[in-house]
Amino acid sequence: MESIAVKKVIILTPNGFYEQHDYDGNPHQVHKSGWAKKDLEKLGYKVFGMRGLKYLRNDHAGIKYKPWLFWGLCAFISEIIFYSFPSASFDLYAVKTFKRKK
């Protein structure tokens, strides 16, 4: 991605490894690796947290606990907090900007 990017690369990935098979019959949806904040930072990415606190969601990002309305609201509110604490968030949003010579 970096070799063909003009301005930036943006990655949205689960925080850590989550097993996923051919989702919706698409073999390209199989998860083969997991990424952590430190892995992406070593590659020069600025990393943010998405989808709130990791432990409130199941493997497919659904709300893990019942009542769904209460825990869904907790997950939603936690998105604001865990945006700045990506190590504890469900997803990682990573951005790397390039300054290419013309």
pLDDT values of the chain reduced to their tens digit, one per residue, 102 residues: 998 988 999 999 999 998 888 878 899 888 889 999 999 999 999 999 999 999 999 978 899 999 999 999 999 999 999 999 999 999 999 999 998 666
Query: Residue 15 falls within a domain, yes or no?
Result: yes
Query: What pLDDT was estimated at residue 29?
Result: 85
Query: What pLDDT was estimated at residue 43?
Result: 96
Query: What pLDDT was estimated at residue 101?
Result: 67
Number of domains in the chain: 1
Query: Residue 29 falls within a domain, yes or no?
Result: yes
pTM of the predicted model as reported, rounded to 2 decimal places: 0.86
The burial of 59, by beta-carbon neighbours within 10 Å (0-12 exposed, 13-18 middle, 19 or more buried), is given as exposed
Contacts of 64 (CB under 8 A, 6+ apart): 55, 56, 57, 58, 71
Residue 40 parent element (H or E)? helix 37-42
Query: Residue 17 falls within a domain, yes or no?
Result: yes
Query: Residue 24 falls within a domain, yes or no?
Result: yes
Range(s) of the domain holding residue 62: 8-97
The whole-angstrom separation of Cα 30 and Cα 35 is 15
Residue 58 parent element (H or E)? none
Closest CA to 14 of 77, 99, 72, 94: 94
Query: What pLDDT was estimated at residue 19?
Result: 83
Query: Residue 102 falls within a domain, yes or no?
Result: no
